[in-house]
Amino acid sequence: MNIPKAQCPALFITAPGSNQGKTTITAALARYHVDQGRKVRVFKSGPDFLDPMILERACGLPVYQLDLWLMGETECRRLLYEAALEADLILIEGVMGLFDGEPCSADVAELFSVPVLAVIDATGTAQTLGAIAYGLANYQPKLLFAGVLANNVASPRHNDMIQEGMPSDLHYFGGIPRDNRFVLPERHLGLVQAEEVLDLESRMSAAATAIASTRLANLPEAVEFTAPEQETPPQLLSGIRIGIARDTAFSFIYAGNLDVLQAMGATLVFFSPLADIALPDVDSLYLPGGYPELHLQTLQDNLAMKSALQTHFQQEKPIYAECGGLLYLLETIVDKAGFRGEMVGLLPGHAIMQNRLKGLGYQSAPMPGGVLRSHTFHHSLIETPLTPVAFGERVHNTSAGEAIYQLNRLTASYLHGYFSSNPTATAQLFLP
C-alpha cells in the first residue's frame, strides 16, 4: 500500500523549562519567514490556549494543538501531513521543558522526526549554557537535535562567552539580545491574550528583525510527513446550529474543536456575551473558558444577554459550558479584589477567584455520551449545592478529578474537552 507523503522544512522549538522565551522565539521565527513571503504553519504542543493566539497573529493562520494524550497520534499525524502539503515551513512550539510530562515535547518531536531547537535563557549564565545544551541534546539519544539559540543575551561579549562554552558537536544558532520590546506580557493564566496586547505587531516585528541576525534566518531541513488512515466523523450534527461565545471574556477554544463540530455537520454561529444583547438563532450553545473574572461589570450589566441565556435554558435547549463558561452560568463571581459580579444564575452557587492555581492537568471526562479527553487549568473555586453527576479521572490519580454538573440540558465543568477524542460523545452535548 502506498502511504501518501509530503515534505516540508520543520523545526520543534523547546527549552529546559517554562519562561525561557519559547513563544517569543516561535512567533519571531514565524513572522520573519512570513515577511520573506513564505507560508508558515505553526502548532503548539500541549493543551495551552494563550500561546496559540500569539502564534496565530505571527503566522496569519490558525494554530492547532499537537498533543499525543488529548488527541492521539493519528490526529497529530493528520494535521502535520496536511500542513506539509501547503506550507513552506512548519514550526512546533513545545510545552514546559523538553522532557517534562508524559507524553512530553521530546516524544512528539521524536515520533514525527522533527529536529529540535533548544531556546535557553542566558540570564545569569555564560559558558555553562553549553553544558545545559549538551544535556538536552544527549538525554534522549534518538532525538534529532538541530542546535541551540541563546535568549536574553546581554552583550556581544556575553554572546562570545556562551559560544566559548558550547560543545563543538552542537550547532549554535546565535543569540537574541535582551530587549524589553520582545517581552510578551503575562497574567494569572499565562500570556495576555493577543487581542489585548495593543503593540503586539511592533513587538513581533522587533523580535523578527533579531532573528535575521542569527543562523535561523535560513530554512531548516525538510522533514517527511506521512498521512494516517482516518475515519470521517459521523454526521451526527447535520442541520444543528451551535452558538459559540467568543470574545475577550470567552476565548479558550481549540481550533480542532470547531473543525470537529463542522465535520459532523454543525453550523457554527459566534456571539459575544460582552457586547451582544441577544442570542443568535441556534439550537445549542457552547460557552468556552476564558477570563470572565476580568469583565465582571460588563457581564453583570448585560441583562439582555443573561435573560436570553435563561430563556434558552428554559426551552430545554442544550448548553455546554467549560471553565469560564461554567463560572458565568453561576449566580456570582467574586474577583481577587472582592468585587462581586451578578452572573446568569442558571446554576446555583458562586465562584471565588484565588491567588494560586487550583486545578491543573489531564483528565478523562465521563460525559453523557461517553468519555472525552480533557484538561483543566483554573484559579478559582466554586461553592454550589449541586451534586455532580460525574467526576473527571486524572491521568495520574493524585487527587479527585473535576466535578461535572448537569441540570436539564445544561452540562458544565471546569474541564476543557478535546472533541476529536470522542466525536460521538461530543455530539450528545449539542443534540436537541
Active site residues: 323
The answer to whether the beta carbons of residues 294 and 268 sit under 8 Å apart is no
The answer to whether the beta carbons of residues 284 and 240 sit under 8 Å apart is yes
Residues 6+ apart with CB under 8 A from 222: 7, 8, 9, 10
Residue 181 CB neighbours (<10 A): 14
Which DSSP string do the residues of 78-95 spell out, in sequence order?
Answer: HHHHHHHHH-SEEEEE--
Helix orientation angle between 200-211 and 22-35, rounded to the nearest 10 degrees: 80
Q: Please name the residue that has the C-alpha cell 470521517.
A: 232
Alpha-carbon gap, residue 392 to 375, rounded angstroms:
10
Compute and round to an integer the Cα radius of gyration of the chain: 22
Which DSSP string do the residues of 233-296 spell out, in sequence order?
Answer: PP-TTTT-EEEEE-SSSEEE--HHHHHHHHHTTPEEEEE-TTT-SS--S-SEEEE-EE-GGG-H
Residue 212 CB neighbours (<10 A): 12
Alpha-carbon gap, residue 241 to 207, rounded angstroms:
42
Residue 234: asked if its preceding bond is cis (omega within 30°), the reply is: no
The residues pairing with 13 across neighbouring beta strands, listed in sequence order, are: 93, 117
Question: Residue 22 to residues 13, 225, 245: CA-CA distances in angstroms?
Answer: 7, 24, 29
Residue 25 φ/ψ, nearest 5 degrees = -70, -40
Q: With left for phi above 0 and alpha for psi between -120 and 50, is residue 75 left, alpha or beta?
A: alpha
- Pick from 92, 90, 44, 48: nearest CA to 64: 44
The answer to whether the beta carbons of residues 388 and 404 sit under 8 Å apart is yes
